[in-house]
Amino acid sequence: MTAATGYAPRHTLPLRVEFVRQFRRRRTMVMFGLLMALPWVLVVAFQFGPGNNNQNSLRLSDLATAGGLNFAAFALSVSASFLLVVAVALFCGDTVASEASWSSLRYLLAAPVPRDRLLRQKLVVSLSYSAAAVTVVPVMALLAGTVAFGWNDIRVPGTGEIIPAADVLPKFAVVIGYAMVSNLVVAATAFLLSVSTDSPLGAVGGAVGLVIVSSILQAVEALGSLREFLPTFWNTAWLDALAPVPEYDGMINGVAVALTYAAILIAFAFRRFRRKDVVS
């Protein structure tokens, strides 16, 4: 008998347990509360803010009140660049580092939850929370926008063409999926930092910092086509999917870049965690 009766490595740290452990945390609740409240705050801002009478403007922000779908696209565009990045960095950067800072990590490892399995389960759970965060904003915005501005066909920013709502819904799913994938880089960076440090805020801040540095670099045109390999370069490519003639090249490039970074960073996270001396 080498192990205690009933012990099997593949049964350790079930996903359900990890979901519960993370869900009851205040920062999880606050983050989701914030993400769900944001569209309603925007609705109120559009309703009571000083009116913009520029009815014929074709900017995304001016078209936001044209209907639920337009509003959802607007809400996603304003939250994707920073709020969702922070949410994803929080869920993925906090996951291992906070266990280390609470010292509960060593008891999980001594339970024993094998290191690869611990990391895998944590990765699945934090990516699920990240995906939920990315989904909740546009879906809630769709709901809030429909309640406030009605269920109208989408008016395309820039050209002003009308696309029937039913045609746009599947594209909307593509947009949400793309937003998830493009945030994989942030998730993977935060995750790697999370296994490397005992400070949850360090891991979250590090990942957000990377996004900031990357956004600064992508504004430097002298870098030429090198910028295409920056992790944030293709983040707004999802706007192409809502054009009257949808273009997917930018999104495909974005997915390629995101998957590349994510695969390597996550591999490094596993490798590092396997060899690490857990001293926290």
Residue 18 or 136 with smaller CB distance to other proteins: 18
Residue 39 or 250 with smaller CB distance to other proteins: 250
Q: How many residues bind other proteins (CB under 8 A)?
A: 81
**Cα(251)–Cα(182) distance, integer angstroms:** 9
Cβ within 8 Å of residue 92, ≥6 positions away: 123, 126, 127, 130, 186, 187, 188, 190, 191, 194, 207
> Which position among 34, 78, 83, 109 is part of the footprint of other proteins (CB under 8 A)?
109
How many C-beta atoms lie closer than 10 Å to residue 278's C-beta? 15
107 binds other proteins (CB under 8 A): yes
Helix, strand and coil content of the chain, in percent to the nearest 5, comes to 75, 0, 25
**Cα(2)–Cα(98) distance, integer angstroms:** 31
Region from 7-15, 79-87, 132-140, 200-208 binding other proteins, contact rule CB under 8 A: 7-15
- Residue 52, SS3 per DSSP: coil
> Which position among 36, 83, 114, 128 is part of the footprint of other proteins (CB under 8 A)?
114
CB of 185 to other proteins, least distance (A): 12
DSSP type of residue 155 = E
Residue 136 or 251 with smaller CB distance to other proteins: 251
CB of 133 to other proteins, least distance (A): 19
**Residue 97 burial class via C-beta count within 10 angstroms: exposed 0-12, middle 13-18, buried 19 and up:** buried
CB of 4 to other proteins, least distance (A): 4
Restricting to residues 24-63, which ones interact with other proteins according to CB under 8 A?
24-26, 54-58
DSSP type of residue 67 = -
CB of 62 to other proteins, least distance (A): 12
Restricting to residues 217-246, which ones interact with other proteins according to CB under 8 A?
218-219, 221, 227, 230, 233-237, 244
213 binds other proteins (CB under 8 A): no
279 binds other proteins (CB under 8 A): yes
**Cα(216)–Cα(67) distance, integer angstroms:** 33
Restricting to residues 173-212, which ones interact with other proteins according to CB under 8 A?
none
> Which position among 64, 88, 108, 207 is part of the footprint of other proteins (CB under 8 A)?
108
**Cα(96)–Cα(196) distance, integer angstroms:** 9
> Mask: binding to other proteins, 137-176, rule CB under 8 A, as x and -?
---------------------xxxxx--------------
Of 2, 12, 6, the C-alpha closest to 108 is 12
